[in-house]
Amino acid sequence: MGQIIRSFRNAHPDIALELHHYSFSDVSAGLRNGEVDAAFVRLPLSVPDLRHRTLVVEPRVVALPPEHPLATRPELAIAELLDEPWVAIATNDATWRDFWLATEHRGGRAARIGAEAATPDEAFEAVLAGRGVLLTRLTIAERFIGEGISTIPVPDAGPSHGAIAWRAATESPLLQTFIAISAAIARGDSGED
C-alpha cells in the first residue's frame, strides 16, 4: 500500500490524502458510513452501491493448533472442517462473516463458534488455545506460523479477493486515477504513467 500512496502523492502533490485504519468491527473500512472515499478491503462486503476492483487473489487456508489431528495434512477439503468449532470474527458485516465461516458450504447448518475475535492477533491466539479453527488468507496466516500455527490449504473453499472499493456516489476522475494507480502497482507496473 505504501507504494500506491507514494505514487499517488507524486502524481498529485496538491491533494491531501488521509489514511485511516479500521478494525474487524468495520470491515468496509469506512465505506459503509461514508467516512472514506475509497478503501482497501477483503470481499465480499454487504455495502449498498459498492464498486470494486480486485487487486490480489489469495488462497484461503485453515489455521490449526499444532496438536490438531488434521494439522499435518498437506491439504484439506472444506467438508472436513465443518463440524469443528470455528473462530468467528466479530464484525458488523454478515456477508463478510459468512464468507469466512464457509457458510455457503454448510447446507443451512450454522457454524459452531468456539471463540469470537476482534483482531487477527485475538483470532490466532484462540486457534493456539484450541478454541477453534480459522479460515483465513495465506498472507496473514504466514505472520503467525512462527507461533506454532499450522496452516493447511483448503482449495475447495475458494480464494480471498483483496480489492480497492468505493461507493458509486463518490466516484470522480481523481478517484479513478487513484484506482488506476492501485491496479497498476498491484499487477507490477510502477503506477507512474
Position 193 scores a pLDDT of 45
Tell me the pLDDT band of 191, cut-offs 50, 70 and 90: very low
CA distance 6 to 3: 5
Position 144 scores a pLDDT of 85
DSSP state letter for 151: E
The mean per-residue pLDDT over the stretch 135-157 comes to 91
Position 190 scores a pLDDT of 54
The domains of the chain, with CATH numbers, are 2-45+163-186 (no CATH), 57-159 (3.40.190.290)
Picking from 190, 137, 166, 177, the residue whose alpha carbon sits closest to that of residue 30 is 166
- How many CA atoms, within 13 angstroms, populate the side-chain half-sphere of residue 28? 21
Position 47 scores a pLDDT of 92
The mean per-residue pLDDT over the stretch 122-142 comes to 94
pLDDT tens per residue across span 42-67: 999 999 899 999 999 999 999 999 99
- How many CA atoms, within 13 angstroms, populate the side-chain half-sphere of residue 153? 8
Phi, psi of 135 (to 5 degrees): -85, 125
